[in-house]
Amino acid sequence: MKISLILAAALLASPLVNAQSMPDDFADMTVLLPGAIYDIRYHGSNNFVGTPVEGYLAAKCILQGKAAKALLKVAEAAAAEGLKLKIFDCYRPTTAVAHFMRWAQDLSDTSTKAEYYPNLGKDKLVGEYIAERSGHSRGATIDLTLVKQDGQGQWQELDMGSAFDMFDTLSNTDHPDISATQRANRYKLKELMEAQGFANYAMEWWHYSLVPQPYPDTYFDFPIE
């Protein structure tokens, strides 16, 4: 009995992990919001790991239902200003997070340093940039930017002053050295997202989480497929 009580207490004290299939209250945004541009980086090799990431079996944006509904409203407000959403990542399986951690701990692999962390040693990435547990795994966090049509009708990313997943202080939303235009673009995204209940992570201008979180203590691990 004592062992059972100790085990139960340990389980209650640690985040829950659901390794089953996608819950009924999660949705595929590529179906609900086909007008957005989806550049799901971890499904391919164009990312800081340099290879497809475990758990990303399809280039889909999966979100919990409340976050999905809020993002639809963000897209509607953006469209009213001639803008679209470009989405890089949504729900992230804990399997993928573990892949990130293995990559971060392999200090011999620096093949993506020039593009993603030119001013930092790889040993400095875990913590502020790469976490052992990611809020993305709770299903209501999203990485995204805004795009606008150019004179030829092509959708182009707004200039945000740094690229997605650039591990550098330059990616801090309020970095003092970005231009007025870049700051205005970051704040346009911030304004649109905050209006629908999303909060920005100050270290990364592209990173937003719904507040409050629908699953604050659960980290899911179903694959994206």
Residues with catalytic function: 204
Chain centroid offset of residue 199 CA: 12
In the chain, the N- to C-terminal Cα span, in Å, equals 41
Look at residue 157 and give its three-state secondary structure.
strand
| DSSP string computed for 136-155 | GGGT-EEEEEEEEE-TTS-E
Asked if residue 43 belongs to a known ligand binding site, the reply is: no
Asked if residue 136 belongs to a known ligand binding site, the reply is: yes
Closest-CA residue to 142 (of 18, 20, 29) = 29
Asked if residue 174 belongs to a known ligand binding site, the reply is: no
**CA atoms of 123 and 107, how far apart (whole Å):** 7
Q: What is the 3-state secondary structure (H, E, C) of 90-117?
A: CCCCHHHHHHHHHHHHCCCCCCCHHHHC
Binding residues for Zn(2+): 136, 143, 207
Binding residues: 136, 143, 207
